[in-house]
Chain A
Amino acid sequence: MQGHDAHSPLVRRVTFGFALLFVMAGGMENVRAQEGWLDRVELRGLIESSTAIETADGGLQKWDLTFKPEVQVRLAGDLRLTALGRIRFDPVDNLEPGQPDRQSAFRSALTRRRFIGDAADLELREFYLDANIGESFVRLGKQQIVWGQADGLRVLDIVNPFDFREFILPEFEDRRIPLWTANAEIPVGEWTVQLIWIPDHSYDDVPDPGATFAFSSPLVVPRPGPATIGAGPVVVDAPHRPGRFIRDDDYGTRLTAFIGGWDLSLDYLYHYQDQAVPFQRRIPGGGIVIKPEYRRTHLIGGTFSNAFGDVTLRGEAGYATDRYFLARDPDDDDGVIKSGEIGSVLGLDYQVDADLRISGQSFQSLLTDRWPGTVRDRLESRATLLIEKEFLNDRLTASLLAIHSLNGGDGLVQADLEYEYRSDVTFKLGLDIFYGDRDGLFGEFDGADRVTFGVEVGF
């Protein structure tokens, strides 16, 4: 672990990081104090320190010092401009050792993060203009669009790509990569029609090999067989991002309505799948080149939810065409197999009493092509259980989330405590445990089990 042999640089970096955050926070305070001349500007933000210690050896996994400023400007009429930034400083540098070198392969130029040294990165998280035109609403700019009713499991929540720096451990809000999007919501009778156009060609941001949460599971990382490789080298190219304006853009529409007590939606998205397909090509004379490419797919689906007494029922289902999965045969020609996929989630939330909520979900993914010969099973199932309890007038929140893969028998358990010490200060304590087969999507991170603690200060 780097933290051990670089003790004094770590201390220096932490000191520097804190100094940086406080200077910035102080600057913000000054700006706020001068609000008088710009009443329409609202400035706020969060300063957060979050430390993770690996349970295996007690070593530091991360020490994120994060500053999230937010500016909101109310312009003429109904126009409103919002900008959210993030400056993150992690002196431990295990999650993304050095500077990740595949940024350009995952993200478009305007969506990329900027790195300052190895430890700090800057990102313009969101930047959009809101306008109301009659009863319609338009949001233009870098934003997050969330579809679907499931928590933690994604069938329809795939409009935005994700950042897997810490796998799926952080909050969704922080993991989703906001995209430059034109988004319009137009009421038509009982329904609201949402139209989205995403000219931003950015996809999932996956950690480089060597990072704590770098993928290694054979479910997602190709392991070509000896027949394929022959005697030669294995060359892995960076994914090739599509770049044509209009032609390579994503398009989607969603219809939502509230009918007879039911919240309903119908969703359609024509987009590039956010995970590149690792096509493999033999090099004559031995060796192999893995050349990941992005492929288009049509997704059509729908959601529903309704409340019955103490229980809320919600679900979503979607059908995606032209999905690619790793072939089971290690010597398959291109290493991947194409199939359609049906995904669905059914969830039940049970409000036991004022402060206790228990929520269970079941997720299924079915490949529609008969006998596709994929590494993954044709039917993949996962179950989640969430228990959330609040204490002391919601001042203290305890939650337990378990995600279990019924196919691999592996999974993840997350236990969290959050204490709102003051309106603007929250303390957090967490435990993340992976278990199961090292080849599983969750089990592969068995060695990354961790205890986290942090404090969040708002202003």
Chain B
Amino acid sequence: MNFPETGAQKVFWRMTALRWPILIVGLLLITAAGVNLPRLVKDTSADAFIDPADPALVYRDKVEDIFGLRDPIIIAVINKGEKGVFNPESLALVDWLTERVKKLDNVDPERVTSLATKSNIVGTDDGMLVEKFFDESSEGFKASLGTQARADEIRTAVHDFPLYRGSLVARDDTATIIVAELVDETRSQETYDRMRALAAEAPKGTGDEIHVAGEGAVAGYLATYIDRDAKRLNPLAALVITLVLGIAFVSLRGMVLPNLVVAATVIGSIGLMAAFGVRFYVITNALIVNLIGIAVADSIHIFSQYYEELRRRPDTPNREIVVRTLAAMWRPVTLTTLTTIAGFLALAIASSMPPMRYFGLFGAIGVAIAWIYTLMFVPAAMTLWPKRLSRPFRKARKDAGDGDPASRFMIAFGRQVLAHPRAVLMGAAFIAAVGGIGLTRVVVEEQQIENFQKTEPLYRADKAINAAMDGTYYLDVVVETPNPEDLHKPENLRRIENLQTFLEGLPHVGGTTSVVDYIKQMHRAVNENRSDAYRIPDDPLLVSQLFLLYSASSDPTDFEEEVDYAYQRALVRANVDTGQYTNNKVIVPALETYLAEEFNTPAITGTVTGRVNVDYHWIRNIAINHARSVILSLIAVGLMAALVFRSIVAGVICLLPIAMAVLIIYAVMGFGDIWLGVGTSMFAAIAIGLGVDFSIHALDRLKELVGRHGFNDEALLMLFPNTGRALLFNFIAVALGFAVLTASGVPPLIKFGSLVAIATSTAFLAAMTVIPALVKIAQPAFLTRRSGESAMTATGLARISRLGVVLIAAAAFAFAAPAARAEELPSGREIMEKVVARNEGVWVTRDLRMELTDRSGTTRVRLTKALRRYYGKEKRTVIFYLSPTNIKGTAFLTYDYPDPSVDDDQWLYLPALRKVRRISASDRGDYFLGTDFTYEEIKKENKIELSDYRFRALGREDVEGRATFVVEGTPVSERVANELGYGRVVWRVDPDIWMSRKSDYWDTNGNHLKTITLPEIAQVDGIWTALRIHAVNHKTGHSTLFTFSNIDYRTKISDRMFKQSMLRRGF
């Protein structure tokens, strides 16, 4: 017996000798990838889909900083009674809700707006009266609070205040809203739940309804909503697939081993994502689905072939059967792997959205893992498993009456196809045409709210609120002028007024608000409330006086959402009652054109921003991305197929089933009114990834059959019982697996499940019908080229495969190099150890300028001299205040000991006391003398105490064009967390200089607390030094900028500078 005879057999023979090492290493690798899984960071936000550098997003964030605007959660009180919401009970409810909402965790109490917080502006005999609608002791309202008379008065006042109509109170009085901005939008779901609980327990009056919705709620809730169901149903899909496998093979190994490959593939690729710090996005759920399907497909073909061989050679040793199986199957398995990888990489390259890029990249990695495990781990395990012929394979399948029902069905099916090849092709052409028509009907649209079930309270709330009010979707224009107080000029205000008129003419824009509305209201108020005075005054002085008058009787920060304190920038907000892209794509370009052609002059400019604009910009990209990725994937798959079969025709034939699947999806979407949105734009990619397998297997088998038997029906029919049966189960497993998702309550998942099932079915059907029919009619020459193992030598094929691998590797590298930098990521601890070990010189003297700026933009400046010296590992720092005069002489001294268990020693010299005060070191989380830096940060100077944190490398990120490692630190204990004042810190460490260029801090409640950036770093005396450090406290809006100058690392600093007596003497 001269086995092994072929090169491939020899390779697999040698490989199966190493089965134990392969099994052990294989399991170890799964474990190794698995230990990374807990480090996976979920990012289910919608913003994740936008390139962080997208100008629309960048500008919106800037505007949010200036005007403090965030996506809010909105609570609406709706009352359809005679008086609408203007009855004592409803108003009391608004007051109750407002107060409760203010106290909620994660709600910024200063940014809660409702009738209970807003002020009325009316004229009085001696000027203007500004007072809260719900003020107990009010001058403007005569009736006392809680009476219908007062409610009527408030209604009259609101009717007299155009600014609030539609935006705060429905124009028909049936609704009013409470707008709450969140501190941390990533926790919006939790806050949404709390608000719903509040709404449930609120003391509702007769006819009162409470609804909770708003962008903040939708965006935050959606991701978790989808994620939750996906997590529940994906395992179910795996279970269904396993069951199908059980039916196909009636054998334990046939169920266990494919699942091991699935586990290796999914754990391996997701574990690698975690290791590289790539986040788990909403659509990553779809990646898992894809990988399960692909991993299963490979195993199904191996097992089919194995049982086929076993049936043919029942007495051959098990190992030889396994080796023969692999030698026969490695080629199609490798080919499908190469084509699928090509498809995934094309997707990655084509897409500009980070989640899709990573979808493609890690999809390709997963496919490669599946290939390795299928060709190495599965055979190794099979040689150990005692051979036993699976029942469905016991009979030979030569005739229709033979074989198991599945084989018989496939043969019957094949007969029909081969009997009517033209009809098959005509039918296919017809379906393709329908698909083409469907394609033209596909609407690019994304509206997050539509992802919810129509019975979901959030969905109903959104619809109810937007029906009653002017709209909760915001399209904003930031108006900027060159000089402070330019927005007091009537000509500028009139431009804004015209802009508002234009905006109000746009479809679905219910109303607009701006500072101009306030000015008009105030102007009317000072003119005896005459309605003809509801206009912009002609005199800029009068405008400033109006503001002055307002601030005399009320809080001037009432305008901070409309205009900045310098009256240089203003925000014009249009309330849009729908978030539909189809509407956005009309109004945003119209607004852009208006601004460019009619509004902008050197003296005043307007820029479009707001959620509506951001959504428009990134959803617009979906269509482009989608088209690009589909075309690129098809080209890549077709080229790869053409390459491996060395025939352009083969490439085209391979593409046909996939193209059919894609077109059918379009047809379903087009006729089923399913939008092409974020989620649905992935289906084409999934269809290609899953569908190409069917073509390749079918074509490869046909090549073998035709090569051996020529173009005759008998030969073509042989495709069906074996390969066809394997593909049938492949299709059933995947299609049923994902059909399970249609049981979900979440509309996107239902769509997802059904479309994947349809795509798989189509690809399978097309592979089993169009390809044989086409082959029968066209008799393509590449199939008759001598092929199979006898002709197409292993080396020849290997050469082609190698070329494919090289091409794919090159593509992967080209993509991966900038995107994920596949080089090894050091551990968080290693990174931070390097940060701590960074050379700082022995001593340094420098001038430190501190600028403390509060939310209103008022800045206080302190000039200091800061000295630092190391005594071995002990670090001593002293800071002398030189200016301003009233705190000059203040000095701070700290001894920072290398042993973290020893408390540091700190002293503060207060010139008014002329005493050095010892201060306790456990206050290191306190803010240092009014800055946004803690004592700890002041003395550590961009370093940290390693023993305070547990570290985790999250991955990589570009900060201002510099590649950085992202490291997360979690305090080791609650005590340390309380001391530091942080519950979590994320640093972005530049590995070239071992400094964190940007760090984010969360408080112990998980609220995003502050961000520290190092915008300017330079080498001074050969030592990397931060020249500027900027800290922004997101809770208070306060920020601190440290600017260092006259830095000197060379001049020795005397010991006495770090003595208490020096604090008294002053610098």
Interface stretch of the complex, out of A223-231, A270-278, A306-314: A306-314
Q: A135-B1056, A308-B920, A394-B929 are in contact. List 7 more A-B contacts (CB 8 A).
A: A256-B1060, A263-B918, A351-B920, A424-B886, A456-B886, A458-B884, A459-B885
Pairwise interchain contact B1054-A395, C-beta atoms closer than 8 A: no
**B residues near A45, Cβ cutoff 8 Å:** 885
B903 within 8 A of A: yes
B905 within 8 A of A: yes
Q: Give the distance in Å from the alpha carbon of A29 to the alpha carbon of B931 in the complex.
A: 29
A171 within 8 A of B: yes
- A-facing residues in B812-871 (Cβ within 8 Å): 852, 854, 858-862
Pairwise interchain contact B888-A395, C-beta atoms closer than 8 A: no
Pairwise interchain contact A307-B903, C-beta atoms closer than 8 A: yes
**A residues near B927, Cβ cutoff 8 Å:** 354-355, 393-394
Q: Of A132, A139, A172, A459, which contacts B914 at CB under 8 A?
A: A172
Most buried by B among A148, A306, A394: A394
A192 within 8 A of B: yes
Q: How far is the CB of A339 from chain B (nearest CB, A)?
A: 29
- B-facing residues in A331-351 (Cβ within 8 Å): 349, 351
Q: Of B859, B886, B918, which contacts A458 at CB under 8 A?
A: B886
Pairwise interchain contact A137-B931, C-beta atoms closer than 8 A: no
State whether A354 and B923 are in contact (beta carbons under 8 Å apart), knowing that A393-B854, A458-B884 are contacts in the complex.
yes
State whether A192 and B1061 are in contact (beta carbons under 8 Å apart), knowing that A135-B1055, A354-B925, A395-B930 are contacts in the complex.
yes
Q: Of A46, A149, A309, A393, which contacts B922 at CB under 8 A?
A: A309
B346 within 8 A of A: no
Pairwise interchain contact B922-A310, C-beta atoms closer than 8 A: yes
Pairwise interchain contact A305-B1038, C-beta atoms closer than 8 A: no
Q: How far is the CB of A430 from chain B (nearest CB, A)?
A: 14
Q: Of A146, A312, A395, which contacts B854 at CB under 8 A?
A: A395
Q: How far is the CB of A12 from chain B (nearest CB, A)?
A: 29
Q: Give the distance in Å from the alpha carbon of A393 to the alpha carbon of B897 in the complex.
A: 28
**B residues near A1, Cβ cutoff 8 Å:** none
Pairwise interchain contact A420-B860, C-beta atoms closer than 8 A: yes
| Interface mask (B38-51 → A, CB under 8 Å = 1, otherwise 0) | 00000000000000
Q: How far is the CB of B555 from chain A (nearest CB, A)?
A: 15
Q: Which residue of A lies closest to B862 (CB)?
A: A423
Q: How far is the CB of B206 from chain A (nearest CB, A)?
A: 44
State whether A187 and B886 are in contact (beta carbons under 8 Å apart), knowing that A173-B911, A307-B921, A393-B854 are contacts in the complex.
no
Instruction: Identify 7 residue pairs between A and B in the complex whose beta-carbon atoms are under 8 Å apart, listed by A's number.
Output: A130-B1065, A135-B1056, A176-B914, A192-B1061, A307-B918, A392-B1038, A458-B886
Q: How far is the CB of B742 from chain A (nearest CB, A)?
A: 54
B228 within 8 A of A: no
Q: Give the distance in Å from the alpha carbon of A307 to the alpha carbon of B350 in the complex.
A: 62
Pairwise interchain contact A305-B923, C-beta atoms closer than 8 A: no
Pairwise interchain contact A422-B888, C-beta atoms closer than 8 A: no
State whether A310 and B920 are in contact (beta carbons under 8 Å apart), knowing that A135-B1055, A171-B912, A395-B860 are contacts in the complex.
yes
**B residues near A261, Cβ cutoff 8 Å:** 903, 905
Count contacts on B: residues with CB < 8 A to the other chain: 45
**B residues near A135, Cβ cutoff 8 Å:** 1054-1056
**A residues near B861, Cβ cutoff 8 Å:** 423
- A-facing residues in B865-917 (Cβ within 8 Å): 883-886, 888, 903, 905-906, 911-915, 917
Q: How far is the CB of A379 from chain B (nearest CB, A)?
A: 27
Q: How far is the CB of B268 from chain A (nearest CB, A)?
A: 47
B596 within 8 A of A: no
Most buried by A among B883, B914, B927, B1054: B914
State whether A307 and B919 are in contact (beta carbons under 8 Å apart), knowing that A258-B1060, A393-B1036 are contacts in the complex.
yes
Q: Give the distance in Å from the alpha carbon of A422 to the alpha carbon of B861 in the complex.
A: 8
B926 within 8 A of A: yes
Q: Which residue of A lies closest to B981 (CB)?
A: A354
Pairwise interchain contact A393-B852, C-beta atoms closer than 8 A: yes
**B residues near A139, Cβ cutoff 8 Å:** 1065
**B residues near A423, Cβ cutoff 8 Å:** 859-862, 883-884
Q: How far is the CB of B99 from chain A (nearest CB, A)?
A: 22
Q: Of A151, A420, A458, which contacts B913 at CB under 8 A?
A: A151
**A residues near B1055, Cβ cutoff 8 Å:** 135
Pairwise interchain contact B1038-A393, C-beta atoms closer than 8 A: yes
State whether A185 and B920 are in contact (beta carbons under 8 Å apart), knowing that A146-B915, A354-B925 are contacts in the complex.
no
Pairwise interchain contact B914-A393, C-beta atoms closer than 8 A: no
State whether A146 and B914 are in contact (beta carbons under 8 Å apart), knowing that A137-B1056, A394-B929, A395-B860 are contacts in the complex.
yes
Name the 9 nearest CB pairs between A and B, nearest first: A394-B930, A458-B885, A354-B926, A307-B920, A423-B860, A423-B884, A146-B914, A305-B918, A393-B930
Pairwise interchain contact B885-A70, C-beta atoms closer than 8 A: yes
**B residues near A306, Cβ cutoff 8 Å:** 918
**A residues near B886, Cβ cutoff 8 Å:** 46, 420, 424, 426, 456, 458
Q: Give the distance in Å from the alpha carbon of A451 to the alpha carbon of B430 in the complex.
A: 94
Q: Give the distance in Å from the alpha carbon of A459 to the alpha carbon of B1055 in the complex.
A: 32
Q: Which residue of A lies closest to B925 (CB)?
A: A354
Q: Of B862, B931, B1060, which contacts A263 at CB under 8 A?
A: B1060
Q: Give the distance in Å from the alpha carbon of A185 to the alpha carbon of B1061 in the complex.
A: 8
**B residues near A422, Cβ cutoff 8 Å:** 858, 860
Q: How far is the CB of B654 from chain A (nearest CB, A)?
A: 67
Q: Which residue of A lies closest to B931 (CB)?
A: A393
- B-facing residues in A422-437 (Cβ within 8 Å): 422-424, 426
B932 within 8 A of A: yes
Pairwise interchain contact A351-B1060, C-beta atoms closer than 8 A: no
Pairwise interchain contact B920-A392, C-beta atoms closer than 8 A: no
Pairwise interchain contact A172-B913, C-beta atoms closer than 8 A: yes
B1059 within 8 A of A: yes
| Interface mask (B1037-1066 → A, CB under 8 Å = 1, otherwise 0) | 010000000000000001110011100110
**B residues near A172, Cβ cutoff 8 Å:** 912-914
| Interface mask (A377-399 → B, CB under 8 Å = 1, otherwise 0) | 00000000000001011110000
Q: Of B854, B888, B918, B1038, which contacts A314 at CB under 8 A?
A: B918
Q: Give the distance in Å from the alpha carbon of A139 to the alpha carbon of B1062 in the complex.
A: 12
Q: How far is the CB of B410 from chain A (nearest CB, A)?
A: 75
